[in-house]
Amino acid sequence: MSRELDIAQQVLSYAAPSGAEVEVSVDRHTVALTRFANSFIHQNVAETTTSVRLRLHLDGRTATGSTTLTSADGLRSLVERTLAASRLCPPDPGWPGLAPPAALVGEGSYDEATATASPHERADRVRDFISAAGGLHTAGFCRTESWTGALANSAGQAVTGRTTEALMDGIARLDGADGVARIAAARLSEIDGAVLGARAARKARAATDPVELPAGRYEVVLEPPAVVDLLDNLALFGFNGKAYNERRSFAAPGEQQFDPAVTIASEGPEAGGPGAPYDAEGTPKRRLVLVDAGVTRAVAHDRRTAAKAGAVSTGHAGRGSATWGPLPSTLSFAPAAPADGVDLDASVAALVGQVDRGILVSDLWYTRVLDPKTLVVTGLTRNGVWLIERGELTRPVRNFRFTQSYPQALGPGAVLGVGAYAAAVPSNLDGSRTSAPALRLASWNFTGTASG
C-alpha cells in the first residue's frame, strides 16, 4: 500500500463512526522551477506539498475540508471540522453518490529521472536556450513536476496514481520584438533547450519593425499556441457538462458543428497517456472523443452533471467542478497525416505556402468571452504576426485585436488546412499538456490594432 493510500484509509477509519458517505484524496505534489531573465538564471526553487482533501455527505448535506497536516491529530481534526461544517451546510438534493469500485484503464505517464531531476539538469537546458538565441535578450523558465496520489471512499473505491511533467517556456527579444517557444512533455529528456532557443530567436529577428494593417477579415494560419487558446475556450464553455446542462454551451452532440478536418479528444491514461489515471471523485479516466471528423460526439461529465443529464461520468471531475463544471483536459487536436521528417517549423511553412494573402499568428492572449453560447471571444495577438503574400512571409505586422466566434472559425468549410505536426504545449487554462497542430482557417475577424 502506498503512503498516500494509507493516509486516505486512515481518514476513512476516523470518519466511519459518523455514518457519512466519505471520500478522501491524498496528493503529493513536487514542483521544481529554474527561472531566467536578462539571459541569466536568477531563481531556482523547489517545493513538495502533501495535501489531504475530505468530502462527506451526511443527513442530506455535503461538506468538504482539507489539510496539509498528515499526523494522526491533524487527520482527526480534519474529520471533526468537516463533520461540524456539514451541519451548517444547506441541503444538497443533487448529491450523486460516491464513485463505485472500478479498475483503472491505465497508469498514466511517469518518469523517475524527471521526478528526481536536479537543478543542474534544468540549468543545462536554460544554458542551451540562451546560447542558441545568439546574443538576444532571453527570459523564461524550465520546470519539472511530479505527482503521486491516492483516493479512497466508503463505497469501496481505492485507487493510486503518479505522473510527471516537464515544461519549458522562453522568449527571445530584439528591438521590442518577442519570439516565443514552449513545450510540455512527460520527460525532461524530451526537452531540447537549443531547439527552443533557436526558434524563439528566429521569430524575434523576423518580427522587428512591424507595419500596421487595417482591421478586417483575413485568412489566417494559427500556430499551435494560438490553437491551444481555441481548445481551452471550447473546453471551458462548450464541452463542459455543467454548461451543457444549463444550456449555456454551443455543443449539440450528434450534429456536424465543425469542419470534417476537426477531431478533438480529451486524452486518457491508456498507453501511457498524460495526466492522472482517475479524477477528483475516483472515477477512472479514459480517452473521450469530443469531436469526430467535425461531428460533436460528447461533453465531459462528473458524477453530478452526469446524474442531471441522465448520463454517466466521463471521469472529468476536478477540484472546481461544483463551480466551473467538469472540464476536459489533456486535449488533442488530431493533425493531418504525418510525413517523414516533418517538424513544427516545416508544418507551419507548408500551410503558409498555401495562402495567397493572409496573416500568420503565433499566439493569442488576454482572451475574454463576450457570448458563451456562441463562444464569441475577444483578445489580442502576441509574440509575432506576419503578412503572408503568395505563400511567403513578406513583413511583420503590429498586433491586432480580434472578435471571433471560435466554433464558427472551425465550422464546416472553414478549416482549409491542418498541420502534419502536433506540438505538445501547456494549456493556458489548467497547465495540462495539450497537443495541437497549426491550422489554416478561411476567416478571422480582426477588429482593430492593439493600440486602438
Pair (255, 295) in one structural domain: yes
Interval 96-110 mean pLDDT: 93
- Would the pLDDT of 382 be above 90? yes
Given 205, 239, 272, the domain boundary residue is 205
Residue 339 has a pLDDT of 64
Give the integer Cα–Cα distance in Å for 408 and 375: 9
Residue 168 has a pLDDT of 97
What is the domain-level CATH number for residue 106?
3.30.2290.10
C-alpha cell recorded at residue 82? 468537516
Pair (216, 195) in one structural domain: no
Cβ atoms of 345 and 437 closer than 8 Å: no
User: For 21-57, b where at least 16 C-beta lie within 10 A, e where not — what string?
Assistant: bbbbbbbbebebbbbbeebebeebeeeeebebbbbbb
Please give the tally of structural domains in the chain.
2
Q: What percent of the chain has pLDDT over 90?
A: 91
Pair (201, 232) in one structural domain: no
3-state secondary structure of 310: coil
- Would the pLDDT of 452 be above 70? no
| pLDDT tens digit sequence for 134-179 | 999 999 999 999 999 999 999 999 999 999 999 999 999 999 999 9
Q: What angle do CA 98, 320, 141 make, to 5 degrees?
A: 130
Give the integer Cα–Cα distance in Å for 66 and 320: 14
Q: What angle do CA 163, 164, 165 make, to 5 degrees?
A: 130
The continuous run of DSSP H or E covering 217 comes out as strand 216-222
- Would the pLDDT of 338 be above 90? no
Residue 322 has a pLDDT of 87
- H-type helices in 293-372, by residue range? 303-309, 321-324, 344-352
Of the candidates 419, 376, 424, which has an alpha carbon nearest to the alpha carbon of residue 166? 424
- Would the pLDDT of 340 be above 70? no
3-state secondary structure of 418: strand
Pair (157, 184) in one structural domain: yes
| pLDDT tens digit sequence for 205-239 | 999 999 999 999 999 999 999 999 999 999 999 99
- Beta pairing partners, 141: 35, 169
Pair (136, 248) in one structural domain: no
| pLDDT tens digit sequence for 391-434 | 999 999 999 999 999 999 999 999 999 999 999 998 888 878 89
- Would the pLDDT of 451 be above 90? no
Given 152, 184, 205, the domain boundary residue is 205
Hey, how many other C-beta atoms are within 10 angstroms of the C-beta on 189? Answer: 13
φ, ψ for residue 234, nearest 5 deg = -60, -40
Pair (52, 7) in one structural domain: yes
Pair (129, 40) in one structural domain: yes
- Would the pLDDT of 1 be above 90? no
Pair (327, 424) in one structural domain: yes
Domain that holds residue 118: 3-205
Pair (150, 230) in one structural domain: no
Given 205, 229, 250, the domain boundary residue is 205
Pair (195, 214) in one structural domain: no
| pLDDT tens digit sequence for 4-23 | 999 999 999 999 999 999 99
Pair (299, 159) in one structural domain: no
3-state secondary structure of 306: helix
Pair (162, 95) in one structural domain: yes
Q: Work out the pLDDT band at 320, boundaries 50, 70, 90.
A: confident
